[in-house]
Amino acid sequence: MVSNEIIPEKAIATEFLVSATMRELKDKETIFVGIGIPLIAALAAKLSHAPRLTIIVEGGAIDPEPRRLMMGIADDSCVERVLSADSLIRVFSDQQNRLVDMGVISGAQVDKYGNVNSTTIGDYYKPEVRLTGSGGACDIACSAQRLLIMMRQELRRFPERVDYITSPGFIDGPGAREKLKLRGGGPSVVVTTAGIFRFDKKTKEMYLDSIHPGLPLDWMKQSVGWELKVPKNLKTTPYPTVEELRIMRELDPMGFFLQLKLGLLDFDTYMKYLEKSFETFNKLYCLV
């Protein structure tokens, strides 16, 4: 039986991020999702309120049931108990044919029109920081019917205009996506460690829809680089439930992503992780 009980003081910022993302994912839909915290949210949603959610991983795996959390798109666990092990070109082609309901991406910056930068900080030709680039993010942003963006809430990550558009949102406002004949519907929600943002249907500008409990509104306004629109009926984000926390923590039993410990990973720690995950994941998928 699913419990809706909450223990407020037990949830950390990344767990709010996962919980709020989970609730955006709907049963019977197909989502294209990246490795790490986005995948934790997708798997947790499938193991709770959305059992018929179909998860696509960038490397071509469709609907895996892994025995451990994937560490990359070419990880063997991506194809464990998978519905279909296809190619990268196949799943991206399906997305361009409007067969993907929601894409989930992240990046270094997002601006008020939902454009995402994962390419460079500063001038492209003389960057302060050169980042990893698009991967599949641009394709997802162009073609998914809805786009969910996951971000840490920091002023430097929310400029009025991103330094470089890696993945297009609404670009510079109404009509811009249509001019470029992009197939997808554009961003629908930005979920952060501090709140939930949505987009005005007319202006295409991001506004604050929900703020996480205990955070001052003035702080939130100061954490973006433009004059943030806030509706009169501003919501408070619900706390993660005990059941949501249980599932996401079992998916990431050593806190590599939820507690940002991936940088501490070494061989011995990884072997302990494999041993711990095997039994836990089998229980999650009712295999023992």
Q: Provide the strand spans (E) within the chain.
A: 30-33, 54-57, 61-62, 84-85, 102-106, 109-110, 116-117, 120-122, 127-130, 146-151, 187-192, 195-199, 206-211, 235-236
Residues 172 and 114 sit within 8 Å (Cβ to Cβ): no
Q: How far apart are CA 57 and CA 79, in angstroms?
A: 9
244 as an active site residue: the answer is no
Q: How far apart are CA 152 and CA 231, in angstroms?
A: 22
Catalytic residue among 5, 24, 29, 58: 58
In DSSP notation, 94-142 reads: HHHTT--SEEEEE-SEE-TT--EE-SEEE-SSSEEEE----TTHHHHHH
195-199 and 187-192 as β-strands: parallel, antiparallel, unpaired?
Answer: antiparallel
Residues labelled catalytic: 58
